[in-house]
């Protein structure tokens, strides 16, 4: 259903460094870029864009979140760790969410502009 998601940034070069590190772990690459915008795309799914807003300042949405699918719990852990290493803030350590120990496994963090992100997978540890 989702084809694209976008977050604003105050500093496109800083955002590129942050998202390049995360994208690499998720098997995504830059799909295209312009001076004010960069787009990432994995092998499947929609694109994720981050850029300078067309009007006004970049602000964080209350209740807004974008999620990235990971192929395994190890990748969830690695993306969360990389996000924190690159200056992101933890919003929820990697772990099982819900009653099924083999169900949803996710981690939450904020990017350098304060936007909230989720990385997750479903299924037992592999």
Q: Mean pLDDT of successive 10-residue segments in the chain (126 residues)?
A: 93 97 96 97 93 92 94 97 98 97 97 98 92
Domain ranges of the chain: 4-52+63-122
Edge-to-edge strands, sheet with 29-34: 4-8, 47-51, 37-41, 29-34
Cα separation of 64 and 115, whole Å?
A: 8
Helices then strands, each counted (H, E), the chain: 2, 8
Residues in CB range of 99: below 8 A, 6 or more apart = none
pLDDT at 52: 96
Superfamily of domain 4-52+63-122: 2,3-Dihydroxybiphenyl 1,2-Dioxygenase, domain 1 (3.10.180.10)
């Amino acid at each position: 259903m989702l084809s694209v998601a976008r977050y604003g940034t105050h500093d496109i070069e800083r955002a590129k460094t942050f998202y390049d590190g995360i994208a690499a772990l998720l098997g995504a690459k830059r799909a295209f870029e312009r001076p004010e915008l960069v787009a990432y795309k994995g092998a499947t799914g929609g694109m994720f864009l981050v850029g300078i807003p067309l009007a006004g300042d970049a602000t964080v949405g209350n209740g807004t979140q974008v999620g990235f699918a990971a192929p395994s719990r190890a990748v969830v852990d690695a993306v969360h760790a990389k996000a924190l290493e690159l200056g992101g803030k933890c919003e929820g350590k990697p772990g099982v969410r819900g009653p099924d120990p083999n169900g949803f496994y996710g981690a939450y963090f904020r990017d350098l502009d304060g936007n909230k992100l989720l990385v997750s997978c479903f299924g037992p540890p592999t």
